[in-house]
Structure 1
Amino acid sequence: MSLIATTPKPPYYAVIFTSLRTEDDEGYGEMANRMLELAVQQEGFLGVESAREDVGITVSYWSDLESIKRWKQHGEHREAQRLGRQTWYSSFKTRIAKVERDYGI
C-alpha cells in the first residue's frame, strides 16, 4: 500500500484521527494491522495515510458519510475503539471533513 493514498476526484470524505498514546502498547500493533485489513474491505473505503510520532495521525478516506457510519459501527472496530479508550490512548480526537479539492504531484 502506498504511503500517500490514491483518491478519486472530489468530493469525498476524510476521517482524521489524532491521538496521544499511553505507555501500554500490548496488542496495539496487531489491532492496528487488523483494523487496516478490515477497513480496506469496507464498501466506500478509498485509502489511508498514517504517521505515528509524538502525536499519531491517521487519515482515512471514504466515498460517503454512510460508509463512515457503517465502519464506526463495525463489530471489531467497536472493540478496537473500546480498547483504545480503555488502554492505548490518553487523548484522541476524530474529525470528519468533506474534501472538495485536492492536488499534488
Structure 2
Amino acid sequence: MNRISTTLVALAAVLGFAGAALAATVNGDVQKVDAATGKVTLKHGPIPALDMGDMTMVYTAKDPAMLKGLKAGDKVRFDPAEVDSKYVVTKIERAK
C-alpha cells in the first residue's frame, strides 16, 4: 500500500468506525440509568440523521463509565450513533 492509501485508511479509522451512522448532538432528559448494563433511557426530540422522531428510547453507552453520576431527571446533551444496527450513545454530558 502506498503512503497516500495508508494515510487515507488511518484517517478513516480516526474519523469514525465501520458500520456507524453518527448523528448531531441532541438534547434529552434522562428517564433511567442502568449502570450494571451500561444503558440509559433518554427522552429526546427528533434525530433526522437517524430517521427518528420525538421518542423515549434505551441506548447503550459506548463507555459505561460515561453514565457515572447521571440520574433520572437530568437534562443532557448526547451524541447518538447507529452501530451494527444498535443505537449507542458515544458522548453524554449534563446540559448547562
Tell me if both proteins adopt one fold, taking TM over 0.5 as the criterion.
no
Larger helix fraction of residues? 1
Shorter-chain TM band = under 0.3
Larger Rg, first or second structure (1 or 2): 2
Task: Name the TM-score, length of structure 1 as normaliser.
Answer: 0.21
Task: Name the TM-score, length of structure 2 as normaliser.
Answer: 0.22
Q: Which has the higher contact order (CA 8 A, sep 6+)?
A: 1
